[in-house]
A and B are shown apart, each in its own frame.
Chain A
Amino acid sequence: MAKAFVIDVAKCSGCYNCQLACKDEHAENDWTPYAKPQPLTGQFWCRVTDHVQGTIPKVRIHYIPRFCNHCRNAACMEAAKDGAVYRREDGLVIIDPEKAAGQKQIADACPYGAVYWNEALNLPQKCTGCAHLLDHGRKLPRCVEACPTDALMFGEEEELADYIEGAAVLLPETGSAPRVYYRNIPGQFIAGTVYDPVEKEVVIGARCLLNSGGKRWETRTDEYGDFWFNDLPVGLFDLSIQMPGYEVKLFERLRTRECVNLGDIPLSRK
C-alpha cells in the first residue's frame, strides 16, 4: 500500500490554497523528526504555477500544483548518503532532517526542483506529505484539505485507481515513476473567429478542418463565429475554413509550440 496524490487540473481554480496551507503548516513550524521548519518565504514545498495560453481574446489559463512526487525511483534517495532520504511504509519519501544536514546533492538531484536547499539550516527540504499529521490522526495533508474544489485528492494508490487511470505524471522520461498524478493538463489549441467583413456579421456553422500529418480534426464555428481545436499536440497543422457561398480560407503550417489564436478571420463572399 502506498499513498498517492491525484490532481485534476480541470478542477483547479487557481486559488493557491494548497500552496498557502503548506506555508501555514510548515513555515516556521518545527516538525522534527519529519522536517525542520520551511523558511517563512521563498521556498515552496507546494508550488502552484499558472499557465496562460493564447492571445486576446482567446486566452485560457490552467494551474498546476506541484510538490514532491514521492517517486518510486527517487533520485534524491540515490543521491543521499547515510540513508538521509528514506521511504516510509506508506510510500512517502522523507528527508531525515538530522542525517541530511550538509547534503546539498539531495536537493540538486531532484529532476523536478521540488527539493529546496535551506541555507540557514544547511538542509535539503521538501514536502513530507504532512506525514506528521497522518501519524497523529489526520487523514489528509494540508494542501489537499484546503482545496475548495476537490481538485486535489490523496489516499491509497489502489483506492484512487479510477482517477489514476489515464492520468499523466510530470517528466515521465526521467523514469522516476512518481506517485503524484495529473489529470486533464490541457494540450495546445488553435482558435479563431470567422466573420463576414461586408455584412459585419460572424459566420456561424462554418466547417473548420484541421490536418496534421494525415491526422484530422473537424469542428464548426459556434454562435459567436468561434472555433476551437483543443488538446492538440505540439506540431504543424493546416487549417481550412469552408462555408457555402464563401471562398475557402486556408492557413498552412500553423505551429502549436505556442497556442494559436488566428483572431478575427474575414471570409470573402464568392
Chain B
Amino acid sequence: MAEKFTPDQQCIVSTSLTGPESGAPCVVDTNDGRITRIRPYYYDTEYTDANCNPWKIEARGKVFKAPDHAMLTPFGLGYKSRVYSPNRVMYPLKRVDWDPNGERNPQNRGKSKYVRISWDEAAQIVADELKRIKATYGPEAVLCQADMHGEGKNVAPAHGCPNRLLSLMGGYTLQMRNPDSWEGWHWGAKYVWGCEPVGQMAPQANLYPDIAKHSDSLLFWGCDPETTPYGFGMCMPGRLCYWLSEIGLKSIYICPDLNYGAAVHGDKWIPILPNTDAALQLAIAYIWITEGTYDKEYIATHAYGFDKFEDYVLGREDGIPKTPEWASEKCGVKEWTIKALARDWAKKTVSIIHGNGGGLIRGPYSSEPARLEVMLLGMRGLGKPGVHQAKMLEWNLWNRDYPVPYQGQWVPKITQIADPLRPVDGDVDPKVNMDRYVLNDAQKKRAPELIKLFTQFPAPKQFIPRPLIHRAILEGHADWYGLQVFSSSQQPDQNNFRQPTQQYQFQHMKYPRDGLSRVHMIWTDAPCQITCWNDGNLTARAYQDPSIECIVAQHPWLENDCYYADIIFPVITKHEMNDIGNDMSSGGFTSIYLEEQCVPPVGESLSDFDVCAKVAEKLGPEYYDAYTDNMDEKTRVRFFYKATGCEEYMTWEEFRKKRIYVVPCKTQEELDKIPAGLYPFYSDPENHPLTTPTGKLEYYSTLLGEHTPDDPERPPVPHWVEKSESHDERLSSERAKKYPLLCVSNHGRWRMHSQCDDIVWNREVGTMKIRGKDGYQYEPVWLHTSEAEKRGICHGDIVKVFNERGIVLCGAYVTERLMPGVCYVDHGSRLDPIIPGWLDRGGAINTITPTSTTSKKATGMAVAGFLAQVEKVTDEEMAQWKRDYPEAFARHIDPDAGVCLDGWMIDNKEAI
C-alpha cells in the first residue's frame, strides 16, 4: 500500500514550449510506467545558497530575490494531460484516399480521414516520394516547413530534423520563419535604433534593478506579463510585477483588452482600438513638441532627422497636425486622456514594458508604432536611468547579460542538432550568420566525438518567407523584400555589439530562383501554419492544390495542418525520451539538467530525430550513417553534456547523480559593473554609437531614405497609414460597413501559440473554452456588453466571427474587459474544419487574418487589428451546416479534450 505514495521514479524534465530552450526544471513522478504528477524542482534538493549565490535586486528598502524553486506554468503543470491526450498520433497514418501510385485526391485534404499503416510502409512511401520528386523536379521541389516553437528538446529537437536529412539529399526549399511576435520591431524599430538582432531594445542588461531604482511608472504597451511569458516557462514576470508595484512604481496598461496582467497589476488601463497605437504616439509627440516638454538637449546630441519628424507631427509635411483631437478619433482614447498621458509621462521617469505579441506589434504596418515608440523614448532621453524599453520575457534572448540578474557567472551553451533557421546559401554575410545550431570551436574541443554528427551539410538554395507560403504555392511564384526575414541569432561580442542586419531587408527576392523548381512536396514538423499564420484559409486551399503531390507531417498530436497531410509520423513528447535540458529563460537560476526518460513512448511514436532516421534508412545506408553518425540518443546526451563545458565544474558521474548543474549567479560586484541597457549610448553617444548608419536614433531613417524613399507604407519618417495597397483594415474603411469590429488577437493565455490547446484542465477555465449549448467547447470571442446587446448575443452563445476570408465559430464571452468596437480571440485554437478553407468550428481565428504581409516591403505578417463581424449563429443556420457537411460534424469530439485522433480515423482497427 505505502508504495503508491512513493514514486517509482523521479525525473527532471522541463516543459518549455519555445523550442531551442528547455525552461524551468520540473520533477516528474512516475508509478507503474505512468506519470503520476509534475512538480516544481527545488534548488535546495542538491544545492545550498553557497553553491548558487542567489541573485537579488535591492531598491527603495525592499528586496526581490531568486526563488528557491522553479516556477511552473499552467502549461507545465498540465502536461500529463498532453502526454496522454486523446489527440496523440499513436502510429503512422496515411490519408485514406491518397494513393502514391494512383489517385492523390489533393482536393480532399482537410476532409478525408486516415488509416493506420506500419512504420515500414510509411517510411518507404516517404523515401520513395522524396526520390521521385527529386528525380522529377530537383531537390528544391520539397518544401521543408520546420520552425521554432515546440517542445524544448536538444538531442532530438522538435524542429529541424527533416532539414538535416533533406540537406543530405542535395537540398530543399526552406520555409523561412518571420519574427511572429516581433514583427514591428524587426521591420521598423531597427531603422531607428539598430538594436540587433531583434529590433527590441538591446542590450537588456541589468534593466530591472535600474528600473526598480529610478523609474516612476511603467507603460505596459500591448504587453501582458501574465500571459505570453507562460509559454516561455516563466511565472517570474508576475512575481516581479507585484514587487515593482509594492515598491511604488505605477503600472499603466495601454491595450484594447484588460489583459491578464492589467487585471491584477494595472493602476490605470487606457483602452485603445487595435492597431491604432501609432495615432496615440503621434499625438503624444505633438503635445511634447508644442509644449516644449521633451529632452531637447538629448535630441540634439543623440538623434538624426528630428526636424523631418517634427514636420510630420506638426502637419508641415501633410497639412494635418497630429493633435490629440486627430488621434482620438482614430484610436478611441479620449482627447483629455491623451493629453493627461502625455503630460504625466513628460513629468516622470518612465520605461516601456513589452511581452511580445498583442495588438501593438502584429498588425498591418506594425513597423510604424514600433518606430514611433522608440522615438518617444528618445524624446525622454532613452538610456538614462529609468528610461528603457524592457521585456517581460525572453530575459536571456541573445543577451550577454540579462535584465533580471539571474544569469550565471558563465552561460553554458547546449547545441542543437537541428537546422531550421538557416540562411540560404550565399545570401548572408557569414559574420551575421545564425550560429545557433553549429558546434562552436570550444564545443568541438570539448566534445570531438560530436564533430562528425555536426557536419554542416550544404545550405538550401532557395527559401520562401513563411507569410508567403500560401501564395507561393497557389501562384507558383512569389517575390518579396529581404534576404533574411528572421532575426539573425548572432551572438553579441564582449561589448554586447552585433553586426547590423537592417540592410538585408532591402533585396528584392523571388521564388522560384532561376533554374530551380517550384514546390511539389511538403514535409512539415511544425504543422500549425493554418492556425498560427496569416490567412490560414488561403493556406488550407494551398494545401489542397494539385501542384502539391505529397504532404508529410511529423508531430506528437493530430492537429491543425496534420489534417492536410497525406502521411503522418507519430512523435514522442519530451517525457518519453532522454535529453539534456537548459534553463536559460525561467528567471530563477541558469541550470543544465539531465532529462531522463520518464515513461515509455506512447503508441508507436519515435523522436523527431529517429523519425527522419527511419526515412534515411529507406533511402540507403549512406544516408542513415551520415544522418545519425550511428550515435544513439543516450550517447548523444553524454557528449552534449561534454560539449556544454559544465564538465569543468561537475564530472559526468556527479551530474548523473545530481542530474542538475546550477550555474552560480554573478556576484553583486560583477553585476554592479554592468551598465543598464543603452546607458553607454546615453552618456557618450560618440563612443557608444547605435548600429544605425548614423550611429544615432534616426527619426528620419537614412536606410529607408536611400532604398525606399517613396514607400507610402513605411516611409523614412514613420506615418499613420490609413489604408494602402496591402491593407484596408481600419474602421474608416468601406469594408467596416459589413465588418464593423476590429479584431485583436493575443498570444493565448491558455496556449503557447497552438500548443496545449488540449490540456483538459485548462479547457475547464472560463476564459479558455466555452461549452456551447450543443456541448462543444468553443473558443471564446470577447465582446463588450454593449456590442453583444446590439447583436442580441448572450454570454455563452455560439457565434460566428467572419469577414470575406471565412467564418470562425466561437463562444461569446461578454465582458467589460474589452472596449466597444472590438472583438478579441486568442490565436492558436486547434482547427476543426467544417468547410476546409472557409468555415472552422475550432476557433482558429488566424484562418481569417489578412493575406498581405506587414506592408509591401516588410515581409512580416499581420494577424491582429483586422476587420470582422460577430453574429449569433441561429439554430437554423447550424442545422443547415449540419445537413450540408454531415461528415465533418460527425467526427468524434472528445468531451474534455476536443478534436482527437478518433475523429479522423477510418475504423480499421483490424487492418494491420
- By a CB distance below 8 angstroms, the chain B residues around A56 are 258, 271, 784, 816-820
B77 to A224, Cβ gap below 8 A? Answer: no
The verdict on A61 contacting B264 (CB below 8 Å), with A41-B764, A136-B5 known, is yes
A149 to B242, Cβ gap below 8 A? Answer: yes
The verdict on A202 contacting B336 (CB below 8 Å), with A20-B74, A24-B761 known, is yes
The verdict on A225 contacting B336 (CB below 8 Å), with A41-B764, A52-B815 known, is yes
Q: B483 an interface residue at 8 Å Cβ cutoff?
A: no
Q: B353 an interface residue at 8 Å Cβ cutoff?
A: no
- By a CB distance below 8 angstroms, the chain A residues around B623 are none
Q: B522 an interface residue at 8 Å Cβ cutoff?
A: no
- By a CB distance below 8 angstroms, the chain A residues around B135 are none
Report the nearest A residue to B77, measured CB to CB: A20
Report the nearest A residue to B784, measured CB to CB: A56
B765 to A16, Cβ gap below 8 A? Answer: yes
- By a CB distance below 8 angstroms, the chain B residues around A55 are 785, 816
CB distance from B32 to the nearest CB of A (A): 11
8 Å CB interface, B248-285 against A: 258, 260, 263-264, 268-271
- By a CB distance below 8 angstroms, the chain A residues around B767 are 50
B5 to A148, Cβ gap below 8 A? Answer: no
Q: A102 an interface residue at 8 Å Cβ cutoff?
A: no
Q: B239 an interface residue at 8 Å Cβ cutoff?
A: yes
The verdict on A200 contacting B764 (CB below 8 Å), with A55-B816, A148-B239, A149-B239 known, is no
The verdict on A61 contacting B337 (CB below 8 Å), with A135-B5, A145-B39 known, is no
Of A6-14, A83-91, A111-119, A168-176, the one contacting chain B is: A6-14
Q: A182 an interface residue at 8 Å Cβ cutoff?
A: no
A20 to B761, Cβ gap below 8 A? Answer: yes
- By a CB distance below 8 angstroms, the chain A residues around B5 are 31, 132-133, 135-136
A: contact size bracket: 35 or more
B336 to A17, Cβ gap below 8 A? Answer: no
Of B339-347, B463-471, B549-557, B850-858, the one contacting chain A is: B339-347
B239 to A14, Cβ gap below 8 A? Answer: no
Query: How distant is the Cα of A47 from the Cα of B270 in the complex, in angstroms?
Result: 31
Q: A23 an interface residue at 8 Å Cβ cutoff?
A: yes
- By a CB distance below 8 angstroms, the chain B residues around A264 are 334, 336
- By a CB distance below 8 angstroms, the chain B residues around A132 are 5
A148 to B336, Cβ gap below 8 A? Answer: no
B242 to A11, Cβ gap below 8 A? Answer: yes
- By a CB distance below 8 angstroms, the chain A residues around B341 are 224
**In the complex, per-residue mask of B749-786: 1 if CB is within 8 Å of any chain A CB, else 0:** 00000000000111111110000000000000000110
- By a CB distance below 8 angstroms, the chain A residues around B760 are 40-41
For chains A and B in complex, what number of residue pairs have CB atoms within 8 angstroms? 149
CB distance from A66 to the nearest CB of B (A): 14
Report the nearest A residue to B820, measured CB to CB: A56
B264 to A14, Cβ gap below 8 A? Answer: yes
Q: B36 an interface residue at 8 Å Cβ cutoff?
A: yes
CB distance from A247 to the nearest CB of B (A): 18
Neighbour of A226 across the interface among B37, B71, B268, CB < 8 A = B268
Neighbour of A223 across the interface among B36, B80, B340, CB < 8 A = B340
A19 to B766, Cβ gap below 8 A? Answer: no
A50 to B766, Cβ gap below 8 A? Answer: yes
- By a CB distance below 8 angstroms, the chain A residues around B40 are 145-146
Q: A27 an interface residue at 8 Å Cβ cutoff?
A: yes
Neighbour of A201 across the interface among B339, B784, B785, CB < 8 A = B339
The verdict on A201 contacting B238 (CB below 8 Å), with A12-B264, A59-B258 known, is no
A24 to B38, Cβ gap below 8 A? Answer: yes
Q: A142 an interface residue at 8 Å Cβ cutoff?
A: yes
- By a CB distance below 8 angstroms, the chain A residues around B39 are 142, 145-146
B269 to A59, Cβ gap below 8 A? Answer: yes
A20 to B762, Cβ gap below 8 A? Answer: yes
The verdict on A59 contacting B226 (CB below 8 Å), with A19-B761, A21-B77 known, is no
A16 to B74, Cβ gap below 8 A? Answer: yes
**In the complex, per-residue mask of B283-309: 1 if CB is within 8 Å of any chain A CB, else 0:** 000000000000000000000000000
Q: A57 an interface residue at 8 Å Cβ cutoff?
A: yes
Neighbour of B816 across the interface among A13, A31, A59, CB < 8 A = A59
Query: How distant is the Cα of A17 from the Cα of B72 in the complex, in angstroms?
Result: 8
Q: B335 an interface residue at 8 Å Cβ cutoff?
A: yes
B78 to A195, Cβ gap below 8 A? Answer: no
- By a CB distance below 8 angstroms, the chain A residues around B263 are 14, 59-61
A195 to B336, Cβ gap below 8 A? Answer: yes
- By a CB distance below 8 angstroms, the chain B residues around A31 are 4-5
A52 to B238, Cβ gap below 8 A? Answer: no
**In the complex, per-residue mask of A36-56: 1 if CB is within 8 Å of any chain B CB, else 0:** 000011101000101010111
The verdict on A146 contacting B77 (CB below 8 Å), with A17-B72, A59-B258 known, is yes
Report the nearest B residue to A27, measured CB to CB: B761
Query: How distant is the Cα of A12 from the Cα of B78 in the complex, in angstroms?
Result: 19
Neighbour of A24 across the interface among B4, B71, B77, CB < 8 A = B77
Query: How distant is the Cα of A30 from the Cα of B784 in the complex, in angstroms?
Result: 43
Query: How distant is the Cα of A223 from the Cα of B347 in the complex, in angstroms?
Result: 10
Q: B218 an interface residue at 8 Å Cβ cutoff?
A: no
B78 to A15, Cβ gap below 8 A? Answer: no
8 Å CB interface, B790-834 against A: 815-820
Q: A73 an interface residue at 8 Å Cβ cutoff?
A: no
Report the nearest B residue to A26, measured CB to CB: B37
B258 to A224, Cβ gap below 8 A? Answer: no
CB distance from B888 to the nearest CB of A (A): 25
Q: A25 an interface residue at 8 Å Cβ cutoff?
A: yes
User: Which A residues have a C-beta under 8 Å from some C-beta of B?
Assistant: 11-17, 19-21, 23-25, 27, 29-31, 40-42, 44, 48, 50, 52, 54-57, 59-63, 132-133, 135-136, 142, 145-146, 148-149, 193, 195-196, 200-202, 204, 223-226, 264
Q: List 16 A-B contacts (CB under 8 A).
A: A13-B226, A14-B226, A20-B74, A24-B37, A30-B4, A31-B4, A40-B896, A41-B760, A41-B764, A48-B765, A55-B816, A61-B263, A61-B264, A148-B235, A148-B238, A202-B340
The 10 closest A-B pairs by CB, nearest first: A148-B235, A61-B263, A223-B344, A23-B761, A136-B5, A195-B336, A202-B340, A148-B71, A20-B77, A13-B238
User: Which B residues have a C-beta under 8 Å from some C-beta of A?
Assistant: 2, 4-6, 36-40, 71-74, 77-78, 80, 226, 230, 235-236, 238-239, 242, 258, 260, 263-264, 268-271, 324-325, 334-337, 339-341, 343-344, 347, 760-767, 784-785, 815-820, 896
**With A13-B238, A20-B78 already in contact, 6 other A-B pairs whose C-beta atoms are closer than 8 Å:** A15-B74, A17-B235, A61-B264, A136-B6, A202-B337, A223-B343
